[in-house]
A and B are shown apart, each in its own frame.
Chain A
Amino acid sequence: MGGRVYTTETREIGIGRVLDRQLRRVEAPEELWRRIQAGRVSPPRPFNVRIAWALAAMVPLLAVAWTLRVSQQRLSEIRCGDASEMRSWIRAKTGLDVPLQRSASLRLESARVLASAAVPAVEITYHAGDRTGTLRVSKAAGRRAAGHKFVSRDSWVMSDQAFVIDCPGDPRAGCTLCHAL
């Protein structure tokens, strides 16, 4: 019986007809709609072309801003351990004169112009052993003082410039940034 079925199907109508019959379209089960409904988290929203364009336009602008910021940051910072080179750089960038000198106990790391300050200002980072300290210097117009005029133990005014030092460990160690003790 089986042979008759197969023979009729294949011999008389050929492979094309067999495929035509056996691969014909079928009805989708009801379950499909339920599954699609369950799979839908939220109804679709029309695509907002304006928002997409605005976001797309912002990408290059942000890239340019980021590049400018990075290059600006590079221009406003120097990383070097040489006292005279750093002094020259600070003078050129801010007009401030910080009489840095070579120190046996401290090691200079970097100087950074403080762009957020209302007056020219610079922050010098240095190392005392494994500790890090900073010296901030800013313009202090009208507060002329020939020598060190201390405001507190860590801050003073001298030659129209205000100094604030954060010195880890021995406070006198910071003095060697500018003075041979």
Chain B
Amino acid sequence: MVLNANDREVIEGCQRGDREAFRVLFEEHKDRVYSIALRYSGNAASALDIAQECFLKLLSSMHSFREDASFDSWLYRIVVNTCLDHQRKGRRFLPIVEDLFDLLRSGSDTILHELLLAEFKQDVQQAVAKLSADHRMVVILRYTEGLSYEQIAEIMGCSAGTVASRLNRAHKILSRRLSHLRAGNGR
């Protein structure tokens, strides 16, 4: 996660207040930020709120970023803290239902199959949403971002052992909560 010359130029541009540089930075990281927010909140509207707040925080604190640090880790920390802050503030995260409505509106021939897939996706998302904040974030950083235990540990401010333990615990909880899907005869 070392900065290359282009990244450095973009970051320096942002620090100078260059709007174009900020647009480049946004384009490069928007999917990452939005995906974490979406997976954490389980809700597109909340995810937009979180992602917007992240980029505004990023912009306002750009001057404090040191170039010898890892930009990715710094960005992840902003996203993680913003997600946790949103939950602390008592903002309610609702499960995704937009997908289902979109499918119902689509009129596709394979609508039943699509609906079932969407429902399955929703079940997984809901099971993840019920995890504690720490367990959920570890799962998202691992599966949405594909980060290593060490990278997650750095972002979360804990040891790699703690990350492994949380992930293991989250796997067990999710396996139990999604066990009805293994029945083989549907619900």
Contacts and interface: CB of A to CB of B under 8 A. Distances in A.
Q: Do A and B bind?
A: yes
Contacts of A11: 182, 184
A59 B71 CA distance: 34
B182 A7 contact: yes
A31 B44 CA distance: 11
A7 B184 contact: yes
Contacts of B113: 1, 5
B143 interface: yes
B117 to A, nearest CB: 6
Contacts of B187: 2-3
A32 to B, nearest CB: 6
Interface string A153-169: 00000000000000000
A175 B123 CA distance: 94
Contact of B124 (A3, A18, A45): A18
Contacts, number: 119
Interface stretch (A22-30, A75-83, A97-105, A106-114): A22-30
Given A10-B181, A23-B144, A2 B56 contact: no
Interface string A28-64: 1101110110011001111100000000000000000
Contact of A31 (B48, B120, B175): B48
B151 to A, nearest CB: 16
Contacts of A24: 35, 143-144
A22 B51 contact: no
A81 to B, nearest CB: 57
Contact of B30 (A16, A33, A47): A33
A92 B80 CA distance: 68
B176 to A, nearest CB: 10
B104 interface: no
B119 interface: yes
A24 B32 CA distance: 10
Contacts of B185: 3
Given A19-B124, A22-B121, A39-B52, A5 B31 contact: no
Given A23-B143, A26-B38, A31-B48, A36 B124 contact: no
Contact of A36 (B14, B55, B174): B55
Given A2-B186, A6-B181, A23-B140, A35 B124 contact: no
B181 A7 contact: yes
A25 B52 contact: no
26 contacts: A1-B186, A2-B116, A6-B183, A9-B120, A11-B184, A15-B171, A15-B174, A16-B143, A19-B128, A19-B139, A22-B121, A23-B125, A23-B140, A24-B143, A28-B30, A28-B33, A29-B48, A31-B48, A32-B30, A32-B51, A35-B48, A36-B55, A39-B52, A43-B17, A43-B19, A44-B60
Interface of B: 14-17, 19, 23, 26, 30-35, 38-39, 44, 48, 51-52, 55-56, 59-60, 62-64, 112-113, 116-117, 119-121, 124-125, 128, 139-140, 142-145, 171, 174-175, 178, 181-187
Given A20-B143, A44-B17, 4 more contacts: A10-B178, A11-B184, A32-B51, A43-B17
Interface of A: 1-3, 5-7, 9-11, 15-16, 18-20, 22-29, 31-33, 35-36, 39-40, 43-47
